[in-house]
Amino acid sequence: MLSSVLRSPRAIMVNVEIMRAFVRMRQMLGMVSDLAQRLDELEARYDERFRAVFEAIRRLMEPDPAPDRPRIGFRPGTET
């Protein structure tokens, strides 16, 4: 990273903040996997009455699909 090559105080601060951001991301990913494991354990303990609840929670845990957006840029053969 460029901020680790530069020796100014600002570059050092930016580099530290970048590392902290990556640590926070790793912690959040760990929390999601812990939550999924705990949900699996709860699902194994309870009967069919809660199946809809567990399915709804799993759908909420899935990432949203990327929206379809029009492509930006020049496309040959198209007229405006």
Query: CA 37, CA 56: separation in Å to the nearest integer?
Result: 16
Long-range contacts of 32-35 (CB under 8 A, 24+ apart): 32/61, 35/61
Query: CA 61, CA 38: separation in Å to the nearest integer?
Result: 13
- 8 A C-beta contact, residue 18 and residue 1: yes
On the question of pLDDT at 80 being above 60, the answer is: no
For residue 3, with 0-12 CB atoms within 10 Å meaning exposed, 13-18 middle and 19 or more buried, which class applies?
middle
List, for residues 12-70, the tens digit of each pLDDT value: 888 888 889 989 888 887 787 788 888 888 878 777 777 888 888 888 887 777 777 77
At 9 the pLDDT is 86
Band the pLDDT of 71: cuts 50, 70, 90.
Answer: confident
